């Protein structure tokens, strides 16, 4: 009966996770990554049709950026073969990966630790807000890495060594940072007497070394890989950014509670001169997290979505310690010290409540913000395709920031793929450049090179504003410090400002040269 109840709870948690992921089926093609993926998949298909196997293999190697992730490109090519126009089918594949990975994670943790740990680990993993971006967007590689790593461990447990090595290899060839997995495998060797584990660890180590060698040969002095810098300043900046992220997600309380429990258990085991299974798996979870987290620190863009593989290890650690706290509290509650037991349960419940509350707020903010931005982008590209005359020019008021550069590349691809407008020439807006009648000038609210006032000054006598595309995103004030500042200032009483919610406007201004 308890087995059935725990499985029902797991199914309920998985269903909640699906509820958060399923809205992605209604999203349009994104101006980040999607066009590039489709173009490269198209080129791979054309090369294969011509029997040009060299170029078919060449396309998945990122010669320009100096990266080596062929499985990432081959995966998207296979999805492209299913359909390259219906975006929801691509998102459906993402939803399927989510369902399989989440289920496999719960089953593995439940089988080797306990079902209660499995439930806590699954809940932490699914409700960790930054993970959601990986399931809503089609570009991130992390979901595929997660699936392959879980499959690798699944087959390792099943004693199917070749399948295990295959999936670990696929994970390594999906994104270079997956080399972190070597340390968690190495950690298990003294404790698990298995020839398969030893062979898998050696294989992963050799593949990782080979991958690092290939990356060294492909390394470029310019381009995307330059953003990966082994400098103390960059590492410190990334640590500060991720610390701020964890703090904003209400994680401090839960982390302190679980870490305190772990240290108490460690002291107890050291005193008894033995290592419990729970302590072993907790240490393994911490090592997994630290390995996957550390490899991200030299990267100039410390984004929460990159932590998806790392959070797997942290989820195992928090799941184990949460079960220990719960069992300890219930044991005390059943004895004579009921007040202490009740207090511990309340403290434990509060830590989880704070975590879930802040992460649900963050999930709402991300989804509302992402939805507004993507809808505005889709409408803007449609209007550009509709308003630009045949053979016309489109000039974009975009800065040199990373996302802005991606949009500069993606907009002409979207015009060509989805609106058959390969006749349109796209370039950066230059206030001193020559404009012809009928040309379109576009300004986006984000990453502007020139402000709206400057644009109006430049175009005052040259162009008319055809339309403004607007979408509004809502955001909550979640920082206690920021909320306190709002309330103390009394601004919301004087000006009618809501201290809990504010809005952000995304807009595109489209001008036509007259």
Of 20-34, 432-446, 477-491, minimum mean pLDDT range: 477-491
pLDDT the model gives residue 485: 65
H/E stretch holding 259: helix 252-272
Whether 69 contacts 173, CB under 8 Å: yes
CA distance 508 to 480: 33
Whether 156 contacts 196, CB under 8 Å: yes
* Residue 16: pLDDT over 80: yes
* Residue 339: pLDDT over 70: yes
* Residue 82: pLDDT over 90: no
pLDDT the model gives residue 34: 93
Angle between helices 308-334 and 142-157 (to 10 degrees): 60
Band (1; pLDDT cuts 50, 70, 90): very low
CA distance 138 to 166: 24
Mean pLDDT of the residues in the chain: 88
* Residue 291: pLDDT over 50: yes
Q: Measured between alpha carbons, how far apart are the two ends of the chain, in Å?
A: 75
CA distance 36 to 416: 12
* Residue 387: pLDDT over 70: yes
- Cβ neighbours of residue 250 under 8 Å, at least 6 residues apart? 354, 355, 357, 358, 359
Nearest Cα to 382, choosing from 287, 469, 482, 500? 469
Whether 375 contacts 367, CB under 8 Å: no
pTM, 2 dp = 0.90
Concatenating the DSSP letter of every residue in 222-240 gives SSGGGGB---HHHHHHHHH
Tokens 């990432």 belong to: 72
Tens-digit pLDDT profile for residues 111-164: 999 999 999 999 999 999 999 999 999 999 999 999 999 999 999 988 899 999
Residue 464 β-bridge partners: 512
Mean pLDDT of 255-268: 92
Query: How would you label 457-483 residue by residue, b for 16+ Cβ within 10 Å and e otherwise?
Result: ebbeeebeeeeebebebebbbbeeeee
Nearest Cα to 79, choosing from 14, 144, 169? 144
Band (217; pLDDT cuts 50, 70, 90): low
> Which range, 171-180, 184-193, 227-236, is most confident?
171-180
Tens-digit pLDDT profile for residues 298-323: 988 899 999 999 999 999 999 999 99
* Residue 495: pLDDT over 80: no
């Amino acid at each position: 009966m308890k087995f059935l109840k725990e499985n029902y709870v797991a199914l309920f948690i998985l269903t909640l996770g699906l509820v958060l992921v399923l809205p992605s089926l209604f999203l349009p093609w994104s101006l980040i990554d999607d066009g590039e993926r489709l173009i490269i998949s198209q080129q791979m298909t054309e090369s294969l049709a011509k029997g040009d196997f060299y170029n078919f293999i060449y396309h998945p190697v990122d010669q320009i950026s100096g990266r080596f992730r062929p499985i990432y490109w081959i995966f998207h090519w296979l999805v492209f073969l299913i359909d390259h126009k219906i975006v929801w089918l691509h998102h459906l594949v993402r939803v399927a990966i989510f369902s399989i990975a989440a289920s496999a994670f719960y089953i593995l943790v439940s089988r080797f630790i306990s079902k209660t740990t499995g439930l806590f680990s699954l809940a932490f993993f699914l409700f960790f807000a930054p993970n959601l971006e990986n399931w809503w967007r089609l570009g991130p590689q992390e979901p595929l890495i997660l699936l392959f790593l879980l499959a690798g461990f699944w087959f390792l447990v099943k004693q199917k060594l070749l399948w295990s090595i295959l999936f670990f290899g696929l994970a390594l060839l999906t994104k270079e940072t997956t080399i972190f997995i070597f340390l968690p495998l190495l950690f298990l060797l003294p404790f698990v007497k298995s020839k398969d584990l030893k062979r898998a660890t050696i294989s992963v180590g050799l593949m990782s070394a080979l991958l690092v060698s290939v990356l060294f040969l492909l390394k470029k002095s310019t381009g995307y890989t330059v953003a990966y810098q082994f400098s103390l300043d960059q590492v410190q900046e990334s640590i500060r950014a991720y610390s701020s992220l964890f703090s904003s997600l209400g994680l401090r309380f839960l982390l302190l509670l679980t870490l305190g429990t772990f240290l108490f258990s460690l002291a107890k085991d050291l005193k008894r001169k033995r290592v419990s299974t729970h302590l072993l798996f907790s240490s393994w979870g911490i090592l997994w997290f630290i390995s996957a987290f550390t490899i991200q620190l030299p990267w100039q863009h410390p984004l929460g979505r990159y932590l998806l593989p790392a959070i797997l290890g942290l989820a195992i650690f928090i799941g184990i310690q949460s079960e220990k706290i719960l069992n300890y509290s219930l044991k005390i509650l059943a004895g004579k010290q009921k007040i202490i037991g009740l207090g511990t349960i309340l403290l434990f419940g509060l830590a989880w409540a704070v975590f879930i509350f802040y992460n649900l707020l963050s999930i709402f903010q991300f989804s509302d913000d992402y939805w507004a931005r993507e809808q505005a982008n889709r409408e803007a590209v449609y209007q550009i395709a509709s308003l630009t005359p045949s053979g016309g020019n489109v000039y974009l008021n975009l800065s040199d920031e990373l996302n802005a550069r991606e949009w500069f590349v993606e907009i002409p691809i979207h015009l060509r793929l989805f609106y058959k407008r390969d006749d349109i020439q796209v370039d950066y807006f230059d206030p001193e450049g020559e404009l012809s009648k009928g040309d379109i000038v576009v300004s986006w609210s984000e990453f502007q090179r020139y402000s709206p006032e400057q644009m109006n000054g430049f175009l005052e006598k040259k162009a008319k504003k055809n339309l403004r595309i607007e979408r509004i995103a809502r955001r909550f004030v979640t920082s206690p410090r920021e909320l306190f500042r709002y309330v103390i200032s009394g601004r919301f009483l004087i000006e009618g400002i809501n201290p809990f919610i504010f809005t952000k406007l995304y807009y595109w201004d489209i001008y036509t040269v007259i």
